[in-house]
C-alpha cells in the first residue's frame, strides 16, 4: 500500500504549475537519483514532491548545508551530510543502512553539483549495487514542469548497458538551466 501524501504539498506544486508523475508502486528500498540538478529551486521542489507522495526519502547533501542554524532543519527534512573532500567509506555506510532497514530510500544528485561536469559521480551506482536495491530515476523536468519518477532500473553491473538504460529514460528531460546539465555517463574515479 502506498503511503498517503500531503494534499497541501500537492496543491502547492499544482499552484506553481508542476505535476507529480510516476509514483505508483515504489519499491520499499532503493537509491533514487535526482537528475538533472541545475538549480537551487530543485531542492524545494524535491521536498514538496517527497511530502506530496508521502514517501520517507532521505537525501545526500554536502556537509556545509548541515552547519550552523540550518543543520537541524536539513536533518529533519531527511538530509544525510557527506564530506565531499573525504568521501571514503560513505558508500559502504549507506549500504549498511540498507542492510538494517526493511524500508529505506536515499536520494542522490549524481552530478554532485548544480554546475556542468564531464559526467556523473559513481557513488549512487556503487551504493545500489552494494545494497542490491533498485535504482529509481527521479526527475525535476522544467520543460514539462513534472517532478517524480521516470523509471526504475535493476542494475546488472554492466555499467555501459545500465547507463544506456538510464540515459534512455531521461531522454528529452530538461533541468532549470539546460546548459549546466551534465552528460549521462559515469566519470572514472581517480
What's the pLDDT at 135? 95
180: phi > 0 → left, psi -120 to 50 → alpha, else beta; which?
Answer: alpha
* C-alpha distances in Å from residue 137, one per residue of 26, 63, 73: 11, 24, 26
The pLDDT, as a whole number, for residue 41 is 93
Tell me the domains of the chain and their CATH numbers: 7-170 (3.40.50)
The Cβ of residue 27 has, within 10 Å, a number of other Cβ atoms equal to 14
Torsion sign, CA atoms 189, 137, 133, 131: positive
Print pLDDT tens along the chain (190 aa): 445 678 899 999 999 999 999 877 889 999 999 999 889 899 999 999 999 998 889 988 888 888 999 899 989 988 888 876 666 677 888 888 888 989 999 999 888 788 888 889 888 998 899 999 999 999 999 999 999 999 999 999 999 999 999 999 999 999 999 999 999 999 865 4
What does R_g of the chain's alpha carbons equal in angstroms? 16
Q: What is the DSSP letter of 26?
A: -
Q: What is the per-residue pLDDT for 190?
A: 45
**Percent residues over pLDDT 90 in the chain:** 56
Note the pLDDT tens digit of each residue in 149-180: 999 999 999 999 999 999 999 999 999 999 99
Contact 150, 170 (CB under 8 A): yes
Angle at which helices 7-15 and 42-53 cross, to 10°: 140
pLDDT of residue 157: 93
Amino acid at each position: 500500500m502506498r503511503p498517503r501524501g500531503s494534499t497541501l504539498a500537492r496543491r502547492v506544486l499544482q499552484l506553481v504549475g508542476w505535476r507529480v508523475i510516476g509514483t505508483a508502486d515504489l519499491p520499499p528500498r532503493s537509491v533514487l537519483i535526482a537528475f538533472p540538478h541545475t538549480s537551487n529551486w530543485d531542492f524545494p521542489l524535491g521536498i514538496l514532491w517527497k511530502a506530496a507522495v508521502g514517501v520517507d526519502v532521505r537525501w545526500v547533501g554536502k556537509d556545509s548545508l548541515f552547519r550552523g542554524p540550518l543543520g537541524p532543519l536539513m536533518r529533519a527534512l531527511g538530509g544525510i551530510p557527506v564530506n565531499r573532500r573525504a568521501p571514503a567509506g560513505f558508500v559502504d555506510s549507506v549500504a549498511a543502512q540498507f542492510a538494517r532497514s526493511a524500508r529505506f530510500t536515499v536520494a542522490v544528485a549524481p552530478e554532485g553539483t548544480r554546475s556542468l561536469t564531464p559526467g556523473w559521480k559513481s557513488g549512487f551506482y556503487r551504493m545500489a549495487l552494494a545494497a542490491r536495491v533498485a535504482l529509481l530515476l527521479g526527475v525535476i523536468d522544467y520543460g514539462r514542469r513534472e517532478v517524480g519518477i521516470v523509471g526504475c532500473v535493476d542494475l546488472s553491473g554492466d555499467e555501459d548497458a545500465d547507463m544506456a538504460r538510464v540515459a534512455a529514460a531521461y531522454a528529452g528531460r530538461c533541468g532549470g538551466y539546460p546548459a549546466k546539465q551534465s552528460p549521462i555517463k559515469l566519470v572514472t574515479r581517480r
